[in-house]
Amino acid sequence: MKLGLLGEHLSHSHSPELHNLLMKEKNIQGTYTKFEINEEELPIYVDKIRNKKLDGLNVTIPYKKSIMKYLDVIDDEAKRIGAVNTIYLKDGLVHGTNTEYFGFLDTLRGNNINVNNKTCYILGTGGASLAVEHVLLDLNAKVIKVSRNPKNDIIGYEELENVENPYLIVNTTPVGMYPNVDNSPISSNLAKRSEYVIDIIFNPLTTKLLSYVDNPINGLWMLMAQGEKSEQIWFDKDYKLDMNSIFDKFKEMI
């Protein structure tokens, strides 16, 4: 199996370690490679799937939306979210789906976070924010998105700072990601006033934002859960794995 990750800047990514570990646990021979590309190269890699030179690809910042126009089939979940992070070949056609939804849902469940009727704030409006938003909406949360360029129903960071005690703040921006580890999208005061803070960044494991809170939740489990979902699609099989054990092994590797 030849698998990989498409993105613009991938030095921060631990996806190869994750997928190589998952394949080892499944006794599958394969490789997972990072492909740092320009947007103009997207159709080249879609054709690599179509021509069976690659068996599957994940897609990350900033191509989760722009990849969609090159695909033959986009499933209902990815259409609803408006972003694709996993592509694969089926019946001669290149398909796109989104496994980040499953990854974030699993993160909430694993941390016993009940968002029903709660107001939740999402930092950022990129591809990852869309999956997070749909999970929260499906769980009956009220969702407010936050951007440096507020418009319509999207608020700005200054307005967010005035919220008294947010229930949940989810950072889906790259602010705080390696190598810019000294940055945080919000103040320590706001973070500490929040019931829960999730940063979907996983490198570093404790971002500047998460250093402000007592119960930090990073994006490592989300990465693992969505990665395993991708492999189920690529290999067309639901392997029975002890994901808690694999998670512990994964943490030791990075």
Report which residue type is found at 31. Answer: T
Question: Quick one: 112 exposed, middle or buried, by C-beta within 10 A (0-12, 13-18, 19+)?
Answer: exposed
Structure tokens at 230: 């991708």
Structure tokens at 117: 């009727």
**E strand or H helix that includes residue 219:** none
Around Cβ 50, how many Cβ atoms within 10 Å?
17
- Quick check: 169 and 192 in contact, CB under 8 A? no
Active site residue 48: no
End-to-end CA distance of the chain: 23
Q: What does 89-100 look like in DSSP terms, one character per residue?
A: EETTEEEEE--H
Place of tokens 């496994």: 99
Residues in the chain: 254
| Set 26, 34, 48, 64: catalytic member | 64
Where in the sequence numbering do the catalytic residues fall?
A: 64
